[in-house]
Amino acid sequence: MDKIMTLGNKNRSVGATNMNAESSRSHAIFTVTVECSQLGIDRQQHLRQGKLHLVDLA
């Protein structure tokens, strides 16, 4: 996950402002999806899914 975030961060656009030498000029959205499959008492596979959205608005 760290490698993917680093790769995406390298592709972001930055520039200087009066308040910040390296101000971000682009938004970033990173979504982590976690899935878990489990056999239920009904002998059927049950899938649980969770999502975490990390958002940086320039």
Instruction: For residue range 27-51, list pLDDT tens digits in order.
Output: 888 899 999 999 999 999 999 999 9
Residue with the bigger pLDDT between 50 and 21: it is 50
Select from 13, 14, 48, 2 the least CA-distant residue to 30: 2
Q: Domain boundaries in the chain?
A: 2-56
What gap in Å lies between CA 18 and CA 37, rounded to an integer?
51
Looking at residue 53, its pLDDT comes to: 96
The pTM is what? 0.56
Which residues are CB-neighbours of 50 under 8 A, at least 6 positions away? 33, 34, 35
